[in-house]
Structure 1
Amino acid sequence: MAASPATGGARSCETPEQTREWMEAIASFLGRHRPLLEAHVVNFFKDRLWEMVDADWMECLRREPVESLLMLPSGCVQDHWPSSLQEFILTARSLVLPREQKSPQSFLPNSRVASIGTVLAQGMNSKKKHEIEALSGIVDAIARSRGAKTVVDVGSGQGYLAQALSFEYQLAVIAIDASSHHASVTNTRAERIKKHYAAKCVEKQQFKVPRTVTCHVLSSDTLAAVTLDACQDDHGEHITETNNCNQSIPQIEQPNPSIPQLVLAGLHACGDLSVNMLRVFVSCEQVQALVSVGCCYNLLSENTDTCPGFPISKAAKSSKLVLGKSIRDLACQRRKMEKPHQGNGPTKF
């Protein structure tokens, strides 16, 4: 008889103590099974890693139908399995971070999601369009709730989020990206969109376009200085302009009344970029809110002499957890998917 899937609801982040206990439990569990965590599928067979697995577990699982094995990640166990195997599966499931989806309206009741038209959505696939529509509405609601009229889009790419915030929500936006090519594309695209909005507007209206800043953000100090400098120089009028910074700039520490209250935003802020945004949010008084969707966690820096991307909290550092490149890569490895097409054989994407 199978037990019900474990929900992982025993853990909580309601208090710092509970959060620390959860982190320490994860670190302890991962530490006990590190050799398996670092193994790619090829290594599992090449190095005969199955010999590290408890013999009773192997004998038990060999006799199980595929349907039961597929339910292992959900925390489903069988009563006749060895107690140690049941404990392993249920413990792993209990440590999983919650993934329940919530509607933006559930925590931002005054938020609105504007549908992006064909001109603004040009170049976006359906996934990107959905992301931009949802995130731009959230950023706008948070900015209004904090009294901020300026948004800094970090890792702006081709400016999709920045332009949605500018044209649909009339927010002043500074778009920071490491690529000068992306800045050029953003500027050209913004001017084209501006003409479209101006043509369909009955009353004469001044449309703002995102201001672009080209900068390799290698530290939180650089991000803070570039952000505050761009806001200070802007004088409330957003024009297409590209500034280049290739070296670290000292952080502006003293609050400056000429710099507006702002929101840091990032969609798919890669690796340490998300971490640097967190540090700027904590250290800069002008930054009223942070809205970040990180990605490429395998590119987080670790064990560096400077401020590492992982770990960043005192609690995580005290756990002594070290991931390493193999574990980070495996955790973020995408499963190859196939879709039918009219050519010869499947297409991978």
Structure 2
Amino acid sequence: MNSQEEAVRTRTTMVQKVLRIFEWLLDLYVLDFYIDNQWERLPQSWRESVETMDPEDLGAYLTGAPIKHMLPLSFLSMIKSVQALSIPRESTSQYKAKNNEDYNEFKVGNHPKLKNLFLKHVKIKKRHEISLMADIVSETAKKCNCKTVLDFGSGLGHLVRVLGYKHDLFAVGIECQPQLTEAARQLDLELEYTAKKHLTEETMSKLKRPMHFNMTLTSHEQLLQLPLVDNITEYGLIGLHPCGDLAPLLLKHFVNCSKVKYICVVGCCYMKLTCDSEPYGYPMSAHVKKLGGKLSYTSREIACHAIEQYSERLRRGQYEDLKIHAYRATLEKILVEHNPALKHSQIRSIKHTNNMTFESYCAAALQRVDVELDAGRVRAGGVCVRAWRRVLLVYSLRLALAPLVESLVLLDRLLYLLEHGLSCEIRPVFDPKISPRNHIIIGRRK
């Protein structure tokens, strides 16, 4: 066992222990706040302390800023443990966030009039992710001397387009939805149509148009039958926020196929991981399997939330619209009292507005549910809604643990690669305020 694997094992074990201590808090589902009387489940010292705390102060404390407020030692120890054991989320790498002017370097054929082609149809968040991801993939491909890269869950092909036309890689996009694949091909043609107006035939002939095709993955063995061109003997695997089990599938293929020289993957949607049966999406490593213990759906779901954005909103006092959590929890209580079979019904997602009453919220939210609630019971629900700050506080306390849950999932994946003798690392690359799932796992075959 090398020193890196030993250090990761030790850290993973400590993370697991802390999460077990606060499992009771992680598993409080905000939807059931009133049904399960969640406020009373908090230690009395916590209730007395945080109920008198302004949300602005709580938001400041969650970001590590000092506040003038006495807090229980058990609460302080939880926060400090999360801060000490979580994988850092602030980027310390050479890669910096790009603003719109920085995209001038994104030129096709190095022509000054072709600097904006990669920006078409791409939202600001996606631009940020694609630019940094493409830089890292290009750097890793060069280190591994491997010019071919496969992007799983490629969508409209924005990432493979940058990798092909800008970074000169042979890029292949693999997507499960045929309509997205066809749209990606059309965007390639649009780019080339514009490029032809400014580039010579010789330069156009050297551009590497991405390939796009469809595949729905259910096992990593399927990847052994990829319909690649005959001259591709090795390649890299990448995934920018592949959903649920797709990231573990890519990692397993990397481990089991010598043709794969490297992998760059950013996880997402941890709540969709398979955790109760083979093939496991979590846990993957032998060490975490040996430790035992499971991550519940609610804990994996909270790990996908944006703690930086949320904490900043609290600090700025922009939390009035978070009353919607109290509205939904109150409606859940009324629905279950009306008919227990209605628990966790799929209702419309409604955004809070300043003039929204609880009655108007219920009317809008229940448009898709065939149920008539007693008007008096709905009016009485206003008593619960007035306790919306408690709902916000419990949600905030749970969210404080989110980085530690995500760290456990990422450390498990890192250990899985290390246990198979592969070189790997985790980098927080994206700005977490722009892209909350901002860690890239980079693995290379030695």
**Does the alignment reach a TM-score above 0.5?**
yes
1:223-263 per-residue CA deviation (whole Å, 9 max, x = no partner) reads: 2331xx4143xx4xxxxxxxxxxxxxxxxxxxxxxx43311
Asked if the contact 1:113/1:134 (under 8 Å) is kept, the reply is no
Counterpart for residue 245 of structure 1 = none
Q: Relative contact order, CA 8 A, sep 6+: which one is greater?
A: 2
* Structure 1 residue 27: Cα displacement: 1.7
Counterpart for residue 75 of structure 2 = 85
Counterpart for residue 25 of structure 1 = 14
What secondary structure sits across from 1:277 in the alignment? helix
Matched, 1:192 2:182: no
- Comparing both structures, which one devotes a greater share of its residues to helix? 2
For 1:317 and 1:324, locate their aligned partners in 2 and report how far apart those are by CA, in whole Å.
Answer: 15
Counterpart for residue 219 of structure 1 = 219
Matched, 1:210 2:182: no
Matched, 1:330 2:302: yes
* Structure 1 residue 101: Cα displacement: 0.4
Counterpart for residue 36 of structure 2 = 47
* Structure 1 residue 162: Cα displacement: 1.1
Alignment of 1:94-105 (within 5 A): 94-104=84-94
Residue number among 36, 42, 55 corresponding to 2:25 in the alignment: 36
Alignment gaps of 5+ in structure 1 = 1-12, 107-111, 236-258, 339-343
Residue number among 287, 291, 294 corresponding to 1:315 in the alignment: 287
* Structure 1 residue 115: Cα displacement: 2.0
Matched letter for residue 98 of structure 1:
P
* More moved, 156-165 vs 48-57: 48-57
Q: 1:155 to 1:84 in 2, by over 3 A?
A: closer
Q: 1:90 to 1:141 in 2, by over 3 A?
A: closer
Matched letter for residue 14 of structure 2:
A
* Structure 1 residue 345: Cα displacement: 5.7
TM-score by length of 1: 0.75
Counterpart for residue 115 of structure 1 = 106
Matched letter for residue 201 of structure 1:
L
What secondary structure sits across from 2:12 in the alignment? helix
Counterpart for residue 133 of structure 1 = 131
Counterpart for residue 392 of structure 2 = none
Residue number among 261, 285, 305 corresponding to 2:258 in the alignment: 285
Counterpart for residue 276 of structure 1 = 249
Asked if the contact 1:166/1:210 (under 8 Å) is kept, the reply is yes
What secondary structure sits across from 1:230 in the alignment? coil
For 2:199 and 2:140, locate their aligned partners in 1 and report how far apart those are by CA, in whole Å.
Answer: 27
Matched, 1:70 2:59: yes
1:265-285 per-residue CA deviation (whole Å, 9 max, x = no partner) reads: 222222111111111122221
* More moved, 260-269 vs 61-70: 61-70
Matched, 1:144 2:142: yes
For 1:28 and 1:44, locate their aligned partners in 2 and report how far apart those are by CA, in whole Å.
Answer: 26
For 1:98 and 1:14, locate their aligned partners in 2 and report how far apart those are by CA, in whole Å.
Answer: 20
1:20-43 per-residue CA deviation (whole Å, 9 max, x = no partner) reads: 222122222222222321112232
1:148-205 per-residue CA deviation (whole Å, 9 max, x = no partner) reads: 1111111111111111111112221111111111111111221222232233213523
Asked if the contact 2:95/2:132 (under 8 Å) is kept, the reply is no
* Structure 1 residue 287: Cα displacement: 1.4
* Structure 1 residue 321: Cα displacement: 2.5
Matched letter for residue 90 of structure 1:
K
Counterpart for residue 178 of structure 1 = 176
Q: 1:98 to 1:150 in 2, by over 3 A?
A: same
Matched letter for residue 254 of structure 2:
F
Q: 1:201 to 1:43 in 2, by over 3 A?
A: same
TM-score by length of 2: 0.60
Asked if the contact 1:113/1:137 (under 8 Å) is kept, the reply is no
Q: 1:67 to 1:176 in 2, by over 3 A?
A: closer
Matched letter for residue 24 of structure 2:
P
Q: 1:129 to 1:65 in 2, by over 3 A?
A: closer
What secondary structure sits across from 2:33 in the alignment? helix
* More moved, 211-220 vs 190-199: 190-199
* Structure 1 residue 93: Cα displacement: 2.8
**Percent same amino acid at aligned positions?**
26
1:105-140 per-residue CA deviation (whole Å, 9 max, x = no partner) reads: 59xxxxx99425333321111221222222222212
Paired residues, number = 297
Asked if the contact 2:153/2:242 (under 8 Å) is kept, the reply is yes
Asked if the contact 1:36/1:49 (under 8 Å) is kept, the reply is no
Q: 1:231 to 1:284 in 2, by over 3 A?
A: farther
Asked if the contact 2:155/2:180 (under 8 Å) is kept, the reply is yes
Q: 1:105 to 1:90 in 2, by over 3 A?
A: closer
* Structure 1 residue 64: Cα displacement: 4.5
Counterpart for residue 169 of structure 1 = 167
